[in-house]
């Protein structure tokens, strides 16, 4: 049970470490399910970035004398499971790509909250170097969220709308026969 800010920080670091390691497992599956080459590249790049983020978390934990591994992040388990369900439920194509972006952005928003909290706690504790490392990751998560929005708006959502319109028209034609 957390009774001090250090206890709370330990729990938050371990939770975030668990979340990031779960994302390392999920990103290759998301990349494989995506059909947009731009989205595939974004997932590949984020996998590499996530590996560096895990290393940063390990560095912060080492500097603070905290074991990074703790209980599993249940929130991330749920978000990853939700993404996997989308892959199972939707046909490959632009609609699935749009759903994958939505799932990935839910993950990014969770991480933005986590890294914002970690940065603020570390600053409050006077751990400037550690806070700077977490702020760097926070910026990367925000940048990834923005990139996903750009991919959705410029490519994936218009393609998904085109798929929907084509399906609607073919459905009307077959229904009118």
* 54-111 residue pLDDT tens: 999 999 999 999 999 988 999 999 999 999 999 999 999 999 999 999 999 999 999 9
Q: Which two tokens stand for residue 76?
A: 């991330």
The answer to whether residues 56 and 137 touch, using CB atoms and an 8 Å cutoff, is yes
169 Cα distance to chain centroid: 35
CB-based contact 75:110 (threshold 8 Å): yes
Indicate the helix (H) or strand (E) that contains 28. helix 5-33
The model carries a pTM of: 0.89
Instruction: List, in order of start, the domains of the chain with CATH numbers.
Output: 5-165 (1.20.1260.10)
Q: How confident is the model at residue 23 (pLDDT cuts 50, 70, 90)?
A: very high
| Averaged pLDDT score across all residues of the chain | 92
pLDDT of res. 165: 52
DSSP code, position 66: -
Tell how far CA 7 is from the center of its chain. 25
Q: Are 43 and 144 spatial neighbours (Cβ–Cβ below 8 Å)?
A: no
| pLDDT mean over 16-43 | 97
CA nearest neighbour of 105 among 65, 67, 63, 156: 156
CA distances from 63 to 11, 83, 96, 121, 133 (A): 16, 34, 41, 15, 12
């Amino acid at each position: 049970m957390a009774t001090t800010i250090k206890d709370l920080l330990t729990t938050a670091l371990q939770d975030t470490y668990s979340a990031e390691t779960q994302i390392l497992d999920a990103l290759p599956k998301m990349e494989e399910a995506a059909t947009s080459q731009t989205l595939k590249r974004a997932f590949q790049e984020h996998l590499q970035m996530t590996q560096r983020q895990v290393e940063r978390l390990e560095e912060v934990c080492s500097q603070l004398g905290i074991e990074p591994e703790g209980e599993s992040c249940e929130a991330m388990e749920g978000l990853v499971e939700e993404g996997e369900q989308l892959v199972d439920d939707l046909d490959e194509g632009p609609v699935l790509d749009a759903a994958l972006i939505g799932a990935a952005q839910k993950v990014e928003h969770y991480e933005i909250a986590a890294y914002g909290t970690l940065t603020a706690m570390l600053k409050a504790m006077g751990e400037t170097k550690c806070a700077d490392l977490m702020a760097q990751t926070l910026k990367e998560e925000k940048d990834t969220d923005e990139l996903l929005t750009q991919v959705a708006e410029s490519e994936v959502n218009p393609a998904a709308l085109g798929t929907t319109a084509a399906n609607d028209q073919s459905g009307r034609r077959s229904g009118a026969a």
